[in-house]
Amino acid sequence: MLNEICESEQTRVRSCILASSKGDGMVELFEVLEPRGRSIPFFTSWGDFGYLQTAMMCKNVAGIVDSFEKEGIDFFIKLQHVPGEEGTAFSYVRDPDGIPLEFLSFDDVIRLS
Protein backbone atom coordinates (compact mmCIF):
# COMPACT_ATOMS: atom_id res chain seq x y z
CA MET A 1 0.00 0.00 0.00
CA LEU A 2 2.88 2.42 0.66
CA ASN A 3 3.94 2.12 -2.98
CA GLU A 4 0.46 3.26 -4.00
CA ILE A 5 0.42 6.15 -1.53
CA CYS A 6 3.84 7.40 -2.66
CA GLU A 7 3.17 6.58 -6.33
CA SER A 8 6.47 4.69 -6.52
CA GLU A 9 7.41 1.04 -6.86
CA GLN A 10 10.54 1.55 -4.73
CA THR A 11 9.05 3.02 -1.55
CA ARG A 12 11.18 2.60 1.56
CA VAL A 13 10.14 3.87 4.98
CA ARG A 14 11.44 3.92 8.52
CA SER A 15 8.83 3.87 11.28
CA CYS A 16 8.68 4.11 15.03
CA ILE A 17 5.83 3.59 17.48
CA LEU A 18 5.88 5.66 20.66
CA ALA A 19 3.54 4.30 23.32
CA SER A 20 2.84 4.65 26.99
CA SER A 21 3.51 1.60 29.14
CA LYS A 22 0.07 2.27 30.65
CA GLY A 23 -1.63 1.85 27.29
CA ASP A 24 -2.92 5.43 27.18
CA GLY A 25 -2.26 5.76 23.46
CA MET A 26 0.45 5.77 20.86
CA VAL A 27 1.96 7.82 18.08
CA GLU A 28 3.29 6.15 14.95
CA LEU A 29 5.94 8.11 13.09
CA PHE A 30 6.99 7.47 9.50
CA GLU A 31 9.93 8.77 7.53
CA VAL A 32 9.78 8.12 3.80
CA LEU A 33 13.35 7.36 2.74
CA GLU A 34 12.59 6.74 -0.95
CA PRO A 35 11.20 8.62 -2.76
CA ARG A 36 12.18 11.54 -0.53
CA GLY A 37 9.34 14.01 -0.04
CA ARG A 38 9.49 17.76 0.34
CA SER A 39 9.92 19.67 3.59
CA ILE A 40 7.31 22.17 4.67
CA PRO A 41 8.36 25.57 3.26
CA PHE A 42 10.07 27.84 5.79
CA PHE A 43 7.45 30.57 5.33
CA THR A 44 4.47 28.28 6.16
CA SER A 45 2.43 29.65 9.06
CA TRP A 46 0.00 28.04 11.48
CA GLY A 47 -3.36 27.69 9.73
CA ASP A 48 -1.91 27.50 6.19
CA PHE A 49 -3.14 24.69 3.99
CA GLY A 50 -0.90 21.67 4.48
CA TYR A 51 0.48 22.92 7.79
CA LEU A 52 1.11 20.10 10.28
CA GLN A 53 1.59 20.04 14.02
CA THR A 54 1.78 17.22 16.53
CA ALA A 55 1.27 17.60 20.27
CA MET A 56 2.43 15.06 22.83
CA MET A 57 1.42 15.03 26.47
CA CYS A 58 4.17 14.09 28.91
CA LYS A 59 5.00 14.19 32.61
CA ASN A 60 8.34 16.04 32.53
CA VAL A 61 8.51 18.72 29.85
CA ALA A 62 11.54 20.33 31.53
CA GLY A 63 13.48 17.06 31.28
CA ILE A 64 12.55 16.64 27.64
CA VAL A 65 13.57 20.22 26.86
CA ASP A 66 16.90 19.64 28.63
CA SER A 67 17.53 16.53 26.51
CA PHE A 68 16.64 18.39 23.30
CA GLU A 69 18.96 21.28 24.19
CA LYS A 70 21.85 18.83 24.71
CA GLU A 71 21.14 17.30 21.29
CA GLY A 72 21.00 20.68 19.56
CA ILE A 73 17.34 20.38 18.53
CA ASP A 74 15.87 23.51 16.88
CA PHE A 75 13.26 25.16 19.15
CA PHE A 76 10.28 27.22 18.05
CA ILE A 77 9.51 27.99 21.71
CA LYS A 78 11.69 26.96 24.64
CA LEU A 79 10.14 25.85 27.93
CA GLN A 80 7.20 27.99 29.01
CA HIS A 81 5.31 27.67 32.30
CA VAL A 82 1.67 28.75 32.41
CA PRO A 83 1.32 31.43 35.14
CA GLY A 84 -0.83 30.28 38.07
CA GLU A 85 -0.90 26.67 36.83
CA GLU A 86 1.95 24.88 38.59
CA GLY A 87 3.00 21.81 36.62
CA THR A 88 1.52 23.12 33.38
CA ALA A 89 4.23 23.75 30.81
CA PHE A 90 4.96 23.39 27.11
CA SER A 91 7.67 23.67 24.49
CA TYR A 92 7.77 23.50 20.69
CA VAL A 93 10.58 22.01 18.63
CA ARG A 94 11.02 21.60 14.89
CA ASP A 95 11.44 18.11 13.40
CA PRO A 96 13.84 17.54 10.46
CA ASP A 97 11.05 18.32 7.96
CA GLY A 98 10.10 21.57 9.71
CA ILE A 99 6.99 20.17 11.40
CA PRO A 100 6.34 21.68 14.85
CA LEU A 101 6.19 19.16 17.70
CA GLU A 102 4.61 20.37 20.93
CA PHE A 103 5.43 18.72 24.25
CA LEU A 104 3.09 19.65 27.08
CA SER A 105 2.05 18.69 30.56
CA PHE A 106 -0.94 19.65 32.68
CA ASP A 107 -1.02 19.76 36.46
CA ASP A 108 -4.15 17.59 36.73
CA VAL A 109 -2.64 14.92 34.45
CA ILE A 110 0.53 14.81 36.54
CA ARG A 111 -1.49 14.29 39.75
CA LEU A 112 -3.39 11.38 38.18
CA SER A 113 -0.20 9.55 37.14
Q: In this structure, are 62 and 89 located in the same domain?
A: yes
Which residue segment(s) compose the domain that 26 sits in? 1-38
The chain-wide mean pLDDT, for the chain, equals 78
| Same domain for 69 and 15 | no
34 and 51 both lie in a single domain: no
Output the pTM of the full model: 0.60
pLDDT at 112: 40
Q: Which residues pair with 71 in a beta bridge?
A: none
The total domain count for the chain is 2
33-46, pLDDT tens digit by residue? 877 777 666 677 76
One domain for residues 25 and 64: no
Question: Looking at the DSSP assignment, which residues form a beta bridge with residue 75?
Answer: 93
* 28 and 55 assigned to the same domain: no
- pLDDT the model gives residue 50: 66
The answer to whether 98 and 90 are in contact (CB under 8 A) is no
Q: Please check whether residues 93 and 55 belong to one and the same domain.
A: yes
User: For position 79, what pLDDT does the model report?
Assistant: 93
pLDDT digit string, tens, across residues 42-62: 677 767 766 677 888 888 888
Q: Express each pLDDT in 62-102 by its tens digit.
A: 889 999 999 998 898 899 998 887 778 999 998 877 778 89
Note whether 60 and 33 are same-domain residues: no
pLDDT at 110 over 50: no
Are 70 and 108 found together in one domain?
yes
